[in-house]
A and B are shown apart, each in its own frame.
Chain A
Amino acid sequence: EVQLVQSGSEVKKPGTTLRISCRISGYNFNDYYLHWVRQAPGKGLEWVGLIDPADAERKNAEKFRGRVTLTADTSTDTAYLGLRSLRSDDTAFYYCVRVGGSIGFDHWGQGTLVTVSS
């Protein structure tokens, strides 16, 4: 069974750095891209970025340029999202999502709530 299990909720202060994890099981980590999507309170879904665990190719949305770090540890089948210089508007649920080829997103993590507050 394919599973994406994310790390737990985080409360962070503005200006600090966030790192959340997404550990997969049930398939070969190197065979599928992983994306990150977030949803802020009262807002819609927003694409953050992607990583190919096989070769660490990554892309991210322009609005996160310089602040986001996407990594993948093939020894533990875990992907990480790092976000620095946190702001209150980074408060959101963050999801890791697997891409099943041409069908797009096919498996979602349970979500990690990140609250940025002083």
Chain B
Amino acid sequence: DIVLTQSPDSLAVSLGERATINCKSSQSVFYTSGNKNYLAWFQHKPGQPPKKLIYWASTRESGVPDRFSGSGSGTDFTLTIRNVQAEDVAVYYCHQYYSTPWTFGQGTKVEI
């Protein structure tokens, strides 16, 4: 199974500052035939289904503010939230869909 390890577990940022979340995979999630990393980032707020922010490691989902960005390849990935807003308070998960069982990181709680 592919294990995803996020850091940090929690993060307190000031409004308008930058938040950076890292995700390290135990195996590469780069799909060579498609030239894509099968790694996504989700935002999860209580009482709601998770919301996908990023897929293919760096492609922003339609409608997601451009202050959210993803980077990385292979086994190391980063989600960056620039200019953090109050509504960004949530738990963020990285997720690999390269191989079953699909897995998630343990989550990073972002607070203001």
Contact = CB atoms under 8 A, between A and B. Distances in A.
18 contacts: A44-B104, A44-B107, A45-B95, A50-B102, A59-B100, A62-B101, A95-B49, A95-B50, A102-B36, A102-B38, A103-B55, A103-B56, A103-B59, A104-B38, A104-B40, A104-B52, A105-B52, A105-B95
Chain B CB count within 10 A is highest, among A61, A102, A104, A109, for A104
Nearest to A39: B44
B97 interface: yes
Interface of B: 31, 34, 36, 38, 40, 42, 44, 49-50, 52, 55-56, 59, 91, 93, 95, 97, 100-107
Contact of B42 (A45, A46, A103): A45
Nearest to B42: A45
A46 B40 CA distance: 15
A8 to B, nearest CB: 15
Interface of A: 35, 37, 39, 44-47, 50, 59, 61-62, 95, 99, 102-106, 108-111
Contacts of B105: 44
Given A35-B102, A105-B52, A45 B107 contact: yes
